[in-house]
């Protein structure tokens, strides 16, 4: 459906009772949240670290000019794409003889285009003219589904013949070929009770995806086709398959599935609404969802497929959602952590809150970054701050382990992060402590720090005499270094450490994988230097000290066009010694 001011929410409703059952049933160990950063093709308009998109449900404005102005607010905050429904029943209206009509969608997309934004177009849902079951339902009193979410609506019944859907998808992709950066085939098809009536069907979806892929790519070449975003966690007490289960069964049913899409989309919502970093028994965490999705791809020899997050968010419901402050913290933390995982796109749900009088019963009304009066919530400020601070950067390294930061505990939290991004002439490190447990950060519960410390003092090596600390909402202060280090107290509120004198991004030296390179240490370090380790990303490399202030580093097994080394050394002796980092980039002699 098109996201107008009166747009009905698409998200699946998760009643509090089901959440309580889910919490009661958790029983097994989650997968680790630590992921190696992976290179993924960049979407047009992306920053070096990745692309931020947005769903526009709740975006107000009755005129194109008003809606363009609101889309422009997103553009100014670093957003570059709008994920939007392009419903089959609107583009090929039932009972109209199969003709295509783009008039309704054209109006909305003209506003998006005028704001400088691109589309993640969702080719979605069914059409009663092409589904026998859907046609019967459409003629019944429940043709529009059960309010308020339209469960059982005629439009959610898939077509009898995938070729009919593929014909609509081809026409739509051709019409908006110049506006799209991706085509997403369906939405949360693993939640059959909601979006693939009457029951999810991995084999049927796989057939539809394969029928659609060639038709869309024929008229929109170069634009990736996405496996429709699967709702990630299985929720106890409700039907449907978890995201990994559904994708695995689709691969099993369709041996050639790897050739039928270009990127795998998923929606790693947290139910209950825990912090993104918290590992919960059975479910894992919002972050570890990437590992679980990649495990499915790896099991099907398709591990090169990039991941896109095409929906995620936290509602600010007083009853069982999160506070507006927590929502903003999670936005900042999610962006820093997600792009460090090598995920190409992060799409937020959604623009604005509604004004449902039922209050806490309807969580769908409070996922917005703007209040019902269109005033920004703190989450929007966090979004804007991240875009400004990290503009032009790419992810370099996770220093959490090197700094000895805590890794946290299942259900109790307490994991700390130090994620470094770089751009020419600057290094930006995101720092925070995820102190929220399973029983904190939601509804009337404590904000965090009950079971683990709420604050942590961290010492970091820096290159500049003074650095800038910026909080997640944009306030900043200067901090003077003492003997090459600074001391920072971190908490659940992320801080960004900007070190403007970071010795990075010199012209890369040339080297060949399988060989070794000599890294010369700065003369100013003197001779009292202990080289502790050498890393490329998270990978430890073999090295040995040679004559003078130099180390010989093996590049055996490294791949890619450029490798960035970090030499971690201890300088000086006794109490005056300090840890420092030397960064060097090498362009490999071939890209494999």
The per-residue pLDDT for range 133-144, each reduced to its tens digit, is 999 999 998 888
- The whole-number average pLDDT for the span 445-470 is 92
pLDDT of 548 strictly over 60? yes
Question: Do the domain assignments include residue 11?
Answer: no
One domain for residues 47 and 158: yes
Band (pLDDT 50/70/90 cuts) for residue 128 is: very high
Least confident of 168-177, 187-196, 583-592: 583-592
Q: What is the pLDDT of residue 508?
A: 52
As for how many domains the chain has, the answer is 3
CATH label of the domain that carries residue 528: 2.60.40
| Whether residue 308 is found in the same domain as residue 423 | no
Q: Are residues 411 and 365 in the same domain?
A: no
Which of 356, 391, 426 is the C-terminal boundary of a domain? Answer: 391
Does 573 reside within a domain? Answer: yes
Q: Are residues 304 and 369 in the same domain?
A: yes
Q: Are residues 136 and 253 in the same domain?
A: yes
Query: What's the pLDDT at 16?
Result: 39
Number of residues in the chain: 592
Instruction: Give the pairing type, strands 413-423 and 426-434.
Output: antiparallel
Q: Which residue has the higher pLDDT, 318 or 183?
A: 183
Residue 204 lies in a domain: yes
Q: What is the pLDDT of residue 165?
A: 98
Q: Is the dihedral of CA 591, 534, 469, 499 positive or negative?
A: negative
CA atoms of 55 and 57, how far apart (whole Å): 6
Residues 182 and 118 in one domain: yes
User: Cβ contacts of residue 310 below 8 Å, gap of 6+?
Assistant: 53, 83, 120, 184, 226, 229, 265, 266, 267, 345, 347
Amino acid 27: pLDDT = 31
Query: Domain containing 408: what range?
Result: 395-499
Q: What is the pLDDT of residue 424?
A: 87
Give the residue from 360, 391, 422 where a domain finishes.
Answer: 391
The Cα-based distances of 190 to 135, 201, 233 in angstroms read 22, 8, 10
Write out pLDDT tens, residues 473-521.
999 999 998 888 899 999 999 999 999 854 433 345 667 766 788 888 7
349 pLDDT more than 50? yes
> Coil, strand or helix: which one is 287?
coil
Average pLDDT over every residue of 380-399: 96
The C-alpha angle with vertex 11 and arms to 10 and 12, in degrees rounded to 5, equals 115
- Is pLDDT at 276 greater than 50 in this prediction? yes
How many angstroms separate the most distant Cα atoms in the chain?
85
Q: Is 340 in the same domain as 454?
A: no
- How far apart, in whole angstroms, are the C-alpha atoms of residue 94 and residue 85? 17
Sign of the alpha-carbon dihedral angle for 195, 200, 204, 207:
positive
CATH code of the domain in which 234 resides? 3.20.20.80
Kindly report the average pLDDT of the chain as a whole number: 86
* Mean pLDDT value across residues 265-282: 93
């Amino acid at each position: 459906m098109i996201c107008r001011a009166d747009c009905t929410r698409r998200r699946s409703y998760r009643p509090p009772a089901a959440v309580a059952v889910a919490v009661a049933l958790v029983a097994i160990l989650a997968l680790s949240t630590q992921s190696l950063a992976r290179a993924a093709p960049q979407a047009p308009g992306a920053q070096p670290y990745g692309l931020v998109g947005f769903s526009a449900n709740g975006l107000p404005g009755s005129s194109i000019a008003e809606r363009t102005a609101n889309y422009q607010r997103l553009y100014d905050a670093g957003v570059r794409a709008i994920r939007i429904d392009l419903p089959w029943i609107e583009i090929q209206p039932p009972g109209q003889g199969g003709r295509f009509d783009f008039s309704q969608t054209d109006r909305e997309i003209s506003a998006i285009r005028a704001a400088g934004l691109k589309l993640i177009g969702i080719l979605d849902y069914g059409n009663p003219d092409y589904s026998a079951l859907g046609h019967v339902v459409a003629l019944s009193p429940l043709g529009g589904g059960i309010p308020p979410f339209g469960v059982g609506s005629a439009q959610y019944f898939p077509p009898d013949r995938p070729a009919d859907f593929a014909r609509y998808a081809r026409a739509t992709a051709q019409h908006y070929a110049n506006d799209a950066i991706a085509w997403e085939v369906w939405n949360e098809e693993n939640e059959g009770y909601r979006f693939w009536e009457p029951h999810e069907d991995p084999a049927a979806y796989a057939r539809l995806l394969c029928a659609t892929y060639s038709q869309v790519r024929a008229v929109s070449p170069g634009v990736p086709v996405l496996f429709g975003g699967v709702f990630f966690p299985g929720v106890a007490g409700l039907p449907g398959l978890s995201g990994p289960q559904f994708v695995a069964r689709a691969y099993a049913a369709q041996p050639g599935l790897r050739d039928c899409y270009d990127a795998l989309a998923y929606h790693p919502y947290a139910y209950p609404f825990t912090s993104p970093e918290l590992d919960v028994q059975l479910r894992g965490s919002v972050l570890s969802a990437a590992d679980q999705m990649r495990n499915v791809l790896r099991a099907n020899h398709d591990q090169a497929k990039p991941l896109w997050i095409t929906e995620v968010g936290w509602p600010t419901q007083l009853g069982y959602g999160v506070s507006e402050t927590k929502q903003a913290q999670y936005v900042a933390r999610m962006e820093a952590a997600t792009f460090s995982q090598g995920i190409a796109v992060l799409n937020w749900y959604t623009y604005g809150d509604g004004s449902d009088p039922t209050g806490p019963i309807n969580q769908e009304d409070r996922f917005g970054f703007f209040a019902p009066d269109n005033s920004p919530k703190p989450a929007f400020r966090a979004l804007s701050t991240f875009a400004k601070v990290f503009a032009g950067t790419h992810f370099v390294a996770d220093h959490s382990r090197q700094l000895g930061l805590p890794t946290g505990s299942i259900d109790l939290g307490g994991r700390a992060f130090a994620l470094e991004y770089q751009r020419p002439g600057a290094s930006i490190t995101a720092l925070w402590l995820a102190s929220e447990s399973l029983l904190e950060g939601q509804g009337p519960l404590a904000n965090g720090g009950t079971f683990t410390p709420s604050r942590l003092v961290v010492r970091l090596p820096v290159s500049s005499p003074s650095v800038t600390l910026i909080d997640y909402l944009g306030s900043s202060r200067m901090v003077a270094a003492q003997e090459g280090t600074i001391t920072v107290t971190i908490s659940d509120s992320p801080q960004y450490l900007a070190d403007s004198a970071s010795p990075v991004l010199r012209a890369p030296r040339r080297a060949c994988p399988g060989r070794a390179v000599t890294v010369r240490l700065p003369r100013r370090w003197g001779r009292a230097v202990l080289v502790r380790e050498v890393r490329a990303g998270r990978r430890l490399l073999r090295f040995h000290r040679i004559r003078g202030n130099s180390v010989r580093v093996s590049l055996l097994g490294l791949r890619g066009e450029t490798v960035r080394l970090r030499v971690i050394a201890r300088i000086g002796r006794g109490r005056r010694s300090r840890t420092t980092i030397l960064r060097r980039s090498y362009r490999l002699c071939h890209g494999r």
